[in-house]
């Protein structure tokens, strides 16, 4: 059994952190306390903040040298991340605190592999936690009251968090038996028939991991690729590129497809849901887009049809990414529509916009035996298109 790491600013949160550490020990786990305070050697712990600070990439001894709290938090977080990566005994990690400590500890937690238990008790956990969690398996627990002493509320909330991390550390995950190779796939509601059929066609040989292409979903898949936990990919739904280039709310960032490039793994992809930019409720759509073809998916999601010019820009962006891939590439283009609502008779049906996308990809991609772009006379959700994806996948995984 590995250890439970209790991490925080022991100079100001000693009582609360020690309470959590004691409960974890009582539950049967070995605890390692780690101080990330700004003042040198300010607490009696297993790992001092001075020891942690020594792991900063610059090697700078920054503790006590700056009055800029934000800078100190950032540098300590960087040092903590490097420190955690140096350890081979982490069975789980728990932190607690306000916005500063939450930012410090979760940034370091995000350096750890998916599957290592991570719990953060925070005063900001009831709001937008995406900046703290990102594409990672961090469990955020709202502290309800401030993390300031042990009271009738904090005693229970912190106690539950302590027991949660102890349970994760003490109890091993049951073995899955003979493990199949992992297969990452991206899906949106409008490409669900395609990806569902793909999963059924391949799940006998592979362990399919389906990622909802909401920005975080794409980043999660690529984090797992970078960590070596995903070895095969069918990237049907590249819609996050729309939001990146047009300012939607579901961008996966400029590094989308970056993990494929870095890991040099075989890649099968398509243009799923590149007909839409995602916004929240219709009133949140930027003024410059108000007159566009908008589709209200639900009260909190509004879709905007991409134009021919926008599709051309996306095609060039994707093509440049494909050119950087050194593993085998097969990229398939569905001429009869890139989503359920881009089919004939549906609200986003626009063959001219699709043609601009397809042409830009073909113009940009440097095709050879390793890297091929193929047009097919189907909608992305047609069974024939699914069959073509499966064939392309098997071709590059012979």
Shared-domain flag, residues 153 and 94? yes
Answer whether residue 176 is part of any domain.
Answer: no
Please list the alpha-helical segments (H only) found in 110-141. Answer: 130-133
φ, ψ at 365 (rounded to 5°): -70, 130
Could you give the CA distance from residue 62 to residue 65 in angstroms, rounded to a whole number?
5
Could you give the CA distance from residue 74 to residue 12 in angstroms, rounded to a whole number?
18
The pLDDT score that the predictor gives to residue 187 is 95
Could you give the CA distance from residue 97 to residue 73 in angstroms, rounded to a whole number?
13
Does the pLDDT of residue 14 top 80, yes or no? yes
Higher pLDDT, 193 or 148: 193
Q: Which of 150, 170, 190 represents a domain boundary (last residue)?
A: 170
Tell me how crowded residue 359 is: count the other CB atoms within 10 A of its CB: 15
The pLDDT score that the predictor gives to residue 1 is 78
The pLDDT score that the predictor gives to residue 289 is 96
Q: Pairing between strand 31-35 and 294-298?
A: unpaired
The pLDDT score that the predictor gives to residue 59 is 73
Task: Please tell me what DSSP assigns to residue 47.
Answer: B
Answer whether residue 307 is part of any domain.
Answer: yes
Structural domains in the chain (count): 2
Does the pLDDT of residue 177 top 70, yes or no? no
Three-class secondary structure of residue 228 per DSSP: coil
The pLDDT score that the predictor gives to residue 345 is 95
Contact 338, 272 (CB under 8 A): yes
Could you give the CA distance from residue 18 to residue 9 in angstroms, rounded to a whole number?
11
Shared-domain flag, residues 149 and 242? no
Confidence (pTM): 0.78
Q: Which of 170, 190, 223 represents a domain boundary (last residue)?
A: 170
Give me the CATH number covering residue 358: 3.40.50.12030
Domain containing 385: what range? Answer: 182-396
Shared-domain flag, residues 131 and 237? no
The pLDDT score that the predictor gives to residue 12 is 86
Encoding tokens for residue 121?
Answer: 């008790």
Q: Which of 142, 170, 198 represents a domain boundary (last residue)?
A: 170
Return contacts of 245-251, CB within 8 angstroms, 24+ apart.
Answer: 245/310, 245/313, 245/314, 245/317, 246/277, 246/304, 246/306, 246/310, 247/277, 247/286, 248/277, 248/278, 248/279, 248/304, 249/215, 249/278, 249/279, 249/280, 250/213, 250/214, 250/215, 250/278, 251/215
Higher pLDDT, 22 or 145: 22
Shared-domain flag, residues 281 and 164? no
Give me the CATH number covering residue 142: 3.40.50.12020
Residues 38-43 have a mean pLDDT of: 74
Shared-domain flag, residues 124 and 261? no
Place 145 in a pLDDT band, splitting at 50, 70 and 90: confident
Answer whether residue 175 is part of any domain.
Answer: no
Shared-domain flag, residues 166 and 202? no
Shared-domain flag, residues 101 and 224? no
Shared-domain flag, residues 260 and 313? yes
Does the pLDDT of residue 218 top 80, yes or no? yes
Residues 246-252 have a mean pLDDT of: 95
């Amino acid at each position: 059994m590995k250890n439970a790491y209790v991490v925080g600013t022991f100079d100001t949160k000693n009582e609360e952190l020690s309470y959590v550490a004691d409960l974890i020990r009582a539950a049967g786990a070995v605890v390692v306390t780690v101080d990330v305070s700004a003042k040198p050697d300010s607490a009696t712990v297993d790992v001092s903040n001075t020891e942690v600070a020594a792991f900063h990439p610059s090697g700078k001894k920054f503790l006590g040298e700056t009055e800029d709290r934000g800078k100190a938090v950032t540098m300590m977080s960087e040092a903590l991340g490097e420190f955690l990566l140096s350890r081979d005994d982490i069975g789980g990690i728990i932190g607690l605190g306000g916005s500063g400590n939450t930012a410090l500890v979760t940034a370091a937690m995000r350096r750890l592999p998916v599957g290592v238990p991570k719990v953060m008790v925070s005063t900001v956990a009831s709001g937008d936690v995406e900046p703290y969690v990102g594409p990672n398996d961090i469990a955020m627990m709202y502290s309800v009251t401030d993390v300031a002493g042990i009271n009738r509320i904090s005693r229970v909330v912190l106690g539950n968090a302590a027991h949660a991390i102890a349970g994760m550390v003490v109890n091993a995950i049951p073995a899955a038996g003979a493990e199949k190779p992992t297969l990452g796939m991206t899906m949106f509601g409008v490409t669900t028939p395609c990806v569902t059929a793909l999963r059924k066609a391949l799940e006998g040989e592979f362990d399919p991991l389906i990622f909802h292409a909401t920005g975080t979903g794409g980043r999660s898949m690529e984090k797992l690729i970078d960590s070596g936990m995903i070895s095969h990919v069918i990237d049907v739904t590249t819609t996050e590129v729309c939001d990146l280039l047009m300012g939607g709310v579901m961008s996966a960032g400029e590094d989308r497809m970056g993990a494929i490039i870095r890991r040099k793994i075989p890649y099968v992809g398509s243009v799923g849901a590149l007909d839409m930019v995602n916004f929240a409720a219709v009133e949140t759509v930027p003024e410059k887009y108000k007159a566009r073809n908008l589709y209200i998916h639900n009260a909190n999601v509004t879709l905007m049809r991409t134009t021919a010019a926008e599709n051309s820009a996306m095609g060039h962006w994707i093509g440049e990414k494909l050119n950087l891939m050194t593993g085998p590439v097969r990229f398939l283009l569905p001429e009869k529509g890139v989503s359920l609502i881009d089919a004939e008779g549906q609200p986003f049906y626009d063959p001219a916009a699709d043609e601009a996308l397809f042409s830009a990809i073909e113009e940009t991609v440097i095709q050879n035996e390793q890297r091929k772009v193929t047009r097919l006379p189907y909608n992305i959700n047609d069974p024939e298109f699914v069959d073509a994806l499966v064939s392309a996948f098997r071709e590059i995984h012979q």
